[in-house]
Structure formats: C-alpha cells, structure tokens
C-alpha cells in the first residue's frame, strides 16, 4: 500500500486531504467541573450547551463544502460519549511530519480514534514530543518558513487548564524543525472569562489569503508580539477583530485555498471584508459548536495541501 504523502507548510494552500471531527456521540452535557474552558462553562451554567443533533448538522454542512471542492475527508473512529469534534488539538502536520500532540491526558483516546489514519503514514514521519512538552495544534500556525506558536510563559502556567502549549514546546519545535523560524506569542489566559481568554493562537490570529491575516490585539499579552504580526503582514492586510468577534471565534475560520474559505454565516463584517479582497466565502452554520470555544480551524486537521 502506498503511504500517505503528508504535506502542509501553510494555512491556506489548496487542501487535498483533511481529518474532520465528528459530533455523532458527544455524550451528555458535561458536569461543570469537567469543563475545559470558560466558554463551555458559561453555556453549561446557562443551560445553552449545544446538543449532538445540532452539532451533527453543522459538521455535515462543512463536510458538504469539502465535497464540493473535491477534498478527501477522513473521520475519526467513533468513541461513545466522547467529544471528538476538535481534531486540531490531537495532532498536526509540519511539512511531511505528523506530530502526535501531548494533550490533556483524559483526551488521549481521541488520538487512538485516528490511529487507522496514522497507520497509513510513513512511520519514520510520525513523531511524538517528550512528556514535558505540552502542545496542541490550535497553537501551531504554519507560514512557509515560519512556525508561529501560541504559548503561555507565566510562572503560574500549571494553574490554567486553558494553557495548552508550554515554553518547552517552543524549544522542542526549534530543535525538531531547525529549518523553520519559530516565533512564539504569549497569550492571554483566563479560566473563567471567555472574553479575556485566548485558548489557542488560532483564537486570536490566523493567516488568510496569500498575504493577509485576522487578528485580535487583546489576545496577546505583549503588545510588541502583536505588533510583530502587524508589521509582518502589513497593517492594510490585517483584519482586526473586536473582543465580541473574538469571543465568537472570528479568527477560527478555515481555508481550502488562498481564495476560498469556510466561515461562520454570522461573521458578517469578516465575511464582507474577505469578499472585498476577492476571497470566496463558503458560509456554514457553526454557532452551536462555537459554544465549546472552538470553530472551523479547531475541528479540522489538514494532512495534505498542495
């Protein structure tokens, strides 16, 4: 059998193969103490946590867009009563290497559910960082020769269940991918307030098109790191989102090509801006899934881009 030829080195090149999460057996609404992030917590408290049925409809809409663009879609094997929507967290591809993420320990079975896909890869190109390296795909953003990585450098890192990628991970990426320029960003974390919490880098920043990006200033703890990205892309190429838009995950759309994106249908201001820059916007309903502090980028794991 031919092994899968992994290839991803940016966020927007033509997508050929992707792992899309599944909401088929998400299980009951979690207990409050089991909430991993402030937004899920908020919806558990208010009785508005999303239902399996609603989330399955939303994921089916994304699947249909991928089919329209002739993208191969792989799905995880089903684990009963397990949230398997956010495949981005469990692994990611850099160039032709698949990195198994070190995620929260009780999510380990989510990686097992895509083992059948990993088995199709060249085993020499599948790696897992050492245990002390905490890293999730939502914090890893590829841009050609650059790897932009979200982290939390505070001494109180261990107090934040929403701090998912540590400084050890930044060093590990530098050592493992010496041909890349690894640039890290200290993100704002808040266990309780979803308006002041950037769970991952893709919750406050994402490249789009050929030379543009979506960005939210308050997601960054250090202004000079935010400014680095503004200078890198150029101010006129940056779409600045408000706190309210960040809360609704406007930076977490997903690109199929440099001029085709999948976006949430309620992101009116963003979608208008994208269209004004000659980017086709495939709108889908994703507001229920976003209640778990994840959106389109979070629920996709690209394996092959041109």
Domain holding 21, by residue range, is 15-305
Q: Convert the pLDDT of each residue in 143-164 to its tens digit.
A: 999 999 999 887 776 665 556 7
Confidence of residue 185 (pLDDT cuts 50, 70, 90): very high
4 in any annotated domain = no
Please tell me the least confidently modeled range out of 22-36, 176-190, 216-230, 269-283. 22-36
Choose among 196, 198, 190, 231: nearest CA to 213: 231
- Rounded to an integer, what distance in angstroms lies between the CA atom of residue 146 and that of residue 9? 9
161 in any annotated domain = yes
Question: Total structural domains in the chain?
Answer: 1
Can you read off the two tokens belonging to residue 238? 């940056």
Q: Whole-number mean pLDDT of the chain?
A: 91
2 in any annotated domain = no
CATH number at residue 194: 3.75.10.10
CA distances (Å), origin 252, targets 79, 139, 248: 25, 12, 9
Contact 44, 35 (CB under 8 A): yes
Task: Output the pTM of the full model.
Answer: 0.92
Can you read off the two tokens belonging to residue 201? 């880098």
10 in any annotated domain = no
Q: Region 221-246: what's the mean pLDDT? A: 96
Q: Convert the pLDDT of each residue in 238-268 to its tens digit.
A: 999 999 999 899 999 999 999 999 999 999 9
- Rounded to an integer, what distance in angstroms lies between the CA atom of residue 62 and that of residue 261? 11
């Amino acid at each position: 059998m031919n092994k899968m030829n992994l290839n991803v080195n940016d966020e927007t090149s033509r997508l050929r193969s992707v792992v899309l999460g599944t909401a088929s057996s998400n299980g009951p609404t979690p207990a409050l103490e089991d909430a991993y992030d402030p937004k899920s917590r908020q919806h558990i408290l208010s009785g508005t946590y999303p239902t399996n049925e609603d989330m399955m409809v939303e994921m089916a809409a994304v699947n249909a867009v991928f089919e329209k663009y002739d993208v191969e879609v792989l799905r995880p094997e089903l684990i009963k009563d397990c949230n398997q929507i956010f495949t981005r967290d469990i692994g990611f591809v850099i160039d032709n290497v698949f990195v198994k993420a070190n995620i929260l320990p009780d999510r380990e079975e989510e990686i097992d559910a895509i083992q059948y896909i990993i088995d199709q890869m060249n085993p020499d190109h599948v790696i897992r960082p050492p245990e002390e390296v905490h890293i999730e795909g939502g914090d890893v953003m590829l841009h050609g020769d650059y790897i932009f990585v979200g982290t939390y450098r505070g001494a109180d890192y261990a107090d934040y269940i929403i701090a998912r990628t540590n400084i050890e991970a930044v060093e590990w990426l530098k050592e493992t991918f010496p041909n890349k320029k690894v640039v890290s960003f200290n993100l704002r974390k808040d266990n309780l307030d979803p308006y002041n919490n950037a769970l991952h880098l893709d919750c406050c920043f994402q490249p789009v098109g050929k030379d543009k990006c979506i960005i939210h200033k308050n997601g960054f703890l250090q202004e000079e790191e935010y400014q680095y990205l503004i200078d890198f892309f150029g101010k006129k190429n940056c779409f600045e989102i408000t706190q309210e838009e960040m809360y609704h995950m406007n930076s977490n759309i997903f690109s199929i090509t440099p001029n085709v994106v999948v976006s949430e249908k309620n992101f009116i201001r963003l979608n208008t801006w994208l269209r004004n820059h000659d980017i086709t916007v495939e709108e889908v309903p994703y507001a229920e899934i976003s209640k778990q502090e994840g959106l389109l980028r979070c629920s996709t794991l690209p394996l092959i881009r041109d």
